Amino acid sequence: MKRTTVRALLLAALCLTGTAGQAHEFSFARLVYDVSGHDDWPRWRADWPEAETHFSRGLDRLTALDVAPEGVLVRMNSEDVFDYPWLYAVEVGSLRLSEQETRQLRQYLLRGGFLMVDDFHGQYEWQQFEQVMLRVFPDRSIEEISADSEPFHVLYDLAEREQIPGIRALMNGRTWEKGGRFPHWRGIADDAGRVMVAINFNQDIGDAWEHADDVRYPALLTTQAYRLGVNYVVYAMTH
């Protein structure tokens, strides 16, 4: 089936679900977690709540989804997480999950949930995050998402992408931080090949959302960040 046909069918499906009479089909759900080590700043709060407020407005405008105007905060030890098919986690170089939260995240993902990971940089933070995910899925590998993979084409064609930096890095004339010079789009898939975890490494998509109304942040990068986020949401809602 041609990609344009697939996209048209997905959009039609979203239009139909919008008539179901629910208050809102989609809410931006952010993962609240305990931090590792001696870091007492709640790193899950990065870009909150502006990132979800701005992105949710854009998602509502750019798709047929009925989007809640405000985001929600969710802990992995709560059954509420299963109410949200799409979950966002930031600063995951400091992510810590209990054994119960680890089991519940695995169950959430295998039952159809989608996790978007963002805003972490450099080899140390990668190793910290990788250790957590190895506990969640000791039998599944983290792979680069190929340029022709469906999450990059489900609505917008994003075969070519560029690094989305944080605003502080940009103000210092860089697109990278903490030694993470090269962007990666990695993922973990289920047995059917569905991407369950989308990992945006050495990037800060949330900053682009948060500063969408800031003239200091380049509009082209904001546009790409919105399109990538929209694709992830549409993919999560239709797979």
Say what the pLDDT of residue 39 is.
64
Q: Is 173 left (phi over 0), alpha (psi -120 to 50) or beta?
A: left
pLDDT for residue 23: 85
Question: Beta strand 86-90 with 72-75: parallel, antiparallel or unpaired?
Answer: unpaired
- Give the whole-angstrom CA distance, residue 174 versus residue 142: 27
Provide the pLDDT for residue 35.
80
Tokens of residue 228, six digits: 């990538």
**Strand (E) positions, the chain?**
29-32, 34-35, 72-75, 86-90, 95-96, 114-118, 143-144, 184-189, 195-201
What pLDDT sits at residue 14?
42
Name the pTM for this structure. 0.90
pLDDT of residue 6: 40
pLDDT at 38: 60
Structural domain harbouring 48: 3-238
pLDDT digits (tens, 9 = 90+) for 187-224: 999 999 999 999 999 999 999 999 999 999 999 999 99
Residue 76 has a pLDDT of 97
Q: What is the DSSP letter of 36?
A: P
Instruction: State the Rg of the chain over Cα.
Output: 17
CATH number of 32's domain: 3.40.50.12140
Domain count, the chain: 1
Give the C-alpha separation, 122 to 178, whole Å.
5
Residue 60's beta-bridge partner residues?
none
Query: Would you give per-residue pLDDT tens digits along the chain (239 residues)?
Result: 344 444 444 444 443 333 333 589 999 999 999 886 666 678 999 999 999 999 999 999 999 999 999 999 999 999 999 999 999 999 999 999 999 999 999 999 999 999 999 999 999 999 999 999 999 999 999 999 999 999 999 999 999 999 999 999 999 999 999 999 999 999 999 999 999 999 999 999 999 999 999 999 999 999 999 999 999 999 999 99
* Contact (Cβ atoms closer than 8 angstroms) between residue 147 and residue 159: yes
